[in-house]
């Protein structure tokens, strides 16, 4: 008797500074440990794949200045029927999620607004706090983000690097995605 084939999972993402990729890589580790075959690819390159060959699809996207990159909604709208034909999930990465009252899909304003803007209703959603890395930002981004952090009572030291991500929450989400049945 043959063993069942491993579930094929696609994790596709859009990132501004690279932290969303780190989250995708952690999801990949968790899901592969549970027996899933996982492909991680930039959203801008995902159309080159045979998307229908995947059993599950996860879309991840970061926020910059209150918005996900436009290509996220474009990808979802273009592939809505496919996304709805199999287990699918969405996660958003943003600094606002560092606050306990804004760290769920129901309470995070960016995630709520985005999910209302697309017709797709993923089986799972999550919000992860991102990483603040002032030294990596250009002058204008550094000043803008410092101003936003001042207003929202976050770190403003221009040399600060602060990772707000709850990695246990990321790993839990990976297990939940693997539990989605095809």
Asked if 110 and 157 sit in the same domain, the reply is no
The residue among 76, 60, 66, 70 whose CA lies nearest residue 15 is: 60
Q: Is 2 within a domain?
A: no
- The pLDDT assigned to 154 comes to 84
Convert the pLDDT of each residue in 116-159 to its tens digit.
999 999 999 999 999 888 999 889 988 888 888 888 888 888 89
Calculate the average pLDDT of the chain: 92
Coil, strand, or helix at residue 149? helix
CATH of the domain at 55: 3.40.50.360
Whole-number Å distance between alpha carbons of 60 and 25 = 11
Q: Is 1 within a domain?
A: no
Output the CA–CA distances (angstroms, integers) from residue 173 to 30, 101, 144, 166, in the order listed. Answer: 9, 19, 31, 11
Q: Which of 89-93, 105-109, 125-129, 148-152 has the lowest mean pLDDT?
A: 148-152
Q: Does 4 have pLDDT greater than 70?
A: no
Average pLDDT over residues 35-57: 95
- The pLDDT assigned to 28 comes to 98
**Domains identified in the chain, total number:** 2
Average pLDDT over residues 161-165: 90
Whole-number Å distance between alpha carbons of 108 and 110 = 6
What global pTM score does this model have? 0.90
- The pLDDT assigned to 5 comes to 61
Q: Does 3 have pLDDT greater than 60?
A: no
Asked if 138 and 151 sit in the same domain, the reply is yes
Angle between helices 19-33 and 167-179 (to 10 degrees): 50
Instruction: Report DSSP letters for 95-129, one per residue.
Output: GGGGSGGG-STTT-HHHHHHHHHSS---SEEEEEE
């Amino acid at each position: 008797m043959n063993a069942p084939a491993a579930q094929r999972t696609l994790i596709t993402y859009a990132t501004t500074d690279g932290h969303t990729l780190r989250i995708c890589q952690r999801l990949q580790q968790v899901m592969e440990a549970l027996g899933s075959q996982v492909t991680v690819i930039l959203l801008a390159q995902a159309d080159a794949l045979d998307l229908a060959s995947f059993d599950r699809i996860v879309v991840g996207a970061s926020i910059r200045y209150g918005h996900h990159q436009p290509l996220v909604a474009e990808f979802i709208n273009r592939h809505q029927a496919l996304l709805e034909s199999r287990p699918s999930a969405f996660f958003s990465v943003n600094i606002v999620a560092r606050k306990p009252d804004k760290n769920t899909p129901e309470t995070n304003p960016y995630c709520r607004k985005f999910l209302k803007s697309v017709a797709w209703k993923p089986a799972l959603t999550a919000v992860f706090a991102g990483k603040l890395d002032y030294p990596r930002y250009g002058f204008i981004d550094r000043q803008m983000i410092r101003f936003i952090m001042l207003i929202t009572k976050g770190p403003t030291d221009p040399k600060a690097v602060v990772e707000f991500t709850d990695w246990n929450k990321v790993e839990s989400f990976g297990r939940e995605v693997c539990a989605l049945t095809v």
